[in-house]
Amino acid sequence: MKKNILILLFILFFIGCGPYIWFKSPQPEGKKNMVAFPNELIGKYISTKDSSVIIINKHKVIKQFHEKLLMSRIEFQEETGDSLAKDTSFLFTDNWHIKVKTFGDSVKVFSWKDEVQFEISDDQLLREYRNIYFLNSRDTGDYWKVKILYMSADTLEYDDILSTDDMDKIKMLTSVKEQRDTSKERDTRYFLDPTRRELRKILRTRAGGNKYYKQHEF
pTM equals 0.80
Residues forming a β-bridge with 124: 121, 137
DSSP run (H or E) holding 146? strand 144-152
Cβ(50)–Cβ(135) below 8 Å: no
Instruction: Go through the chain and tell me how many residues it has.
Output: 218
Per-residue pLDDT band at 12 (split at 50, 70, 90): very low
Q: What is the pLDDT of residue 91?
A: 75
pLDDT tens digits, residue range 133-151? 999 999 988 899 999 999 9
- Domain encompassing residue 91: 3-215
Q: What is the pLDDT of residue 84?
A: 66
d(CA 8, CA 68): 15
The 10s digit of each residue's pLDDT in 85-135 is 677 777 777 777 777 888 778 888 878 888 999 999 999 999 999 999 999
% of residues, the chain, pLDDT over 90: 59
pLDDT for the residue 75: 74
Distance (Å, whole) CA 190 – CA 180: 9
Q: How many domains does the chain have?
A: 1
pLDDT at 5: 42
